[in-house]
Amino acid sequence: MEVLFDEDFSAYSGGPTALALGTFDGLHRGHRKVIETARKMAREKKLAGGVFSFTPHPRRILNSGNGPGVICSLRQKIEILEEMGLDYFFCQEFTPEFSRTEFEAFVREILCGELESHQLVVGEDFTFGHGGEGTSGDLVKMGEELGFSVKIVSPLKNDDEKISSTRIRRLISAGRVDEVPDLLGRYYTVAGEVVHGSGRGHRLGYPTANLKLEAEYILPRRGVYAGYVHHRGERLKAAANFGHNPTFKPVDYRIEIYILELEENLYGERLSFSPVEFIRPEKEFDSIDKLRETIAEDILYTKKVL
């Protein structure tokens, strides 16, 4: 899959395209339905199949940086789309200047002009252009004028409720990570670089990998989780604490991961962690021995869960 950012759109030379169009901030099952529809139509019509999306989330720009935490980083998004077998990922940087683009100019100049769109696929609630003034219905009308087709995909539901990024974020924030895979189609996963911590885990007998996140993720409820670490193509059992370690002197928010099956030094390496089940909330212990005893119980429970 070839990845093109907006400064390179004018150099695109891959021929007519069928594009799934949207923010696709979580790449959940509903998003994947839209993307798979575009990929299938690209094959049927012998077009280049791709996705047109944005970074960062538009609401982070429109709300002065106060938009929602991400469900997957840009790097993770690219990895997932590549696994889906697409030809292209067109990534538009969403800036204050771009936010003022009129929807007709966006369609004429970028989608039709630079990217040669012959087929567009969107969800029912898709909006675009300055102030979200363009709707999927407007896109259909422009298609009739400019000669491209539009396919509108109905939302995917779970338990009679629409699958949405907002719903997934709500579950993650509440620590209900075990309910997320049914909506997301995979485990929720945070990724980043392993950095030096305080060394307390090593002194307790449970050395941890401290994760510096690669994106502003939506973070789960503070506490301990059983889950999987992904490292160098392997999936390893792990227990992770999300929070501030209140037993010791308060520190900044940290993600500390104890990997059950690995003891090597991982500093500077990229690591990802998928919380599978919430074990317990973060708490302050009266003694180090009680903390060490509870960590041992957390690890036994992790082994049972996984």
Separation of alpha carbons 100 and 126, rounded Å: 17
Catalytic residue (choose from 256, 261, 263, 269): 256
The 3-class secondary structure across the chain, one letter per residue, is CEEEEHHHHHHCCCCCEEEEECCCCCCCHHHHHHHHHHHHHHHHHCCEEEEEEEECCHHHHHCCCCCCCECCCHHHHHHHHHHCCCCEEEEEECCHHHHCCCHHHHHHHHHHHHCCEEEEEEECCCEECHHHCEEHHHHHHHHHHHCCEEEEECCCEECCEECCHHHHHHHHHCCCHHHCHHHHCCCCCEEEEEECCCCHHHHHCCCCEEEEECCCECCCCCEEEEEEEEECCEEEEEEEEEECCCCCCCCCCEEEEEECCCCCCCCCCEEEEEEEEEEEECCCCCCHHHHHHHHHHHHHHHHHHC
Q: What is the four-CA torsion angle of 25, 165, 82, 231, rounded to 10 degrees?
A: 100
Instruction: List residues bridging with 258 in a β-sheet.
Output: 239
**How do strand 254-259 and strand 209-213 relate by DSSP bridges?**
antiparallel
Check if 124 is active-site.
no
Q: What are the residues whose beta carbons fall under 8 Å from the beta carbon of 300, sequence distance 6 or more?
A: none
Q: Where in the sequence numbering do the catalytic residues fall?
A: 256
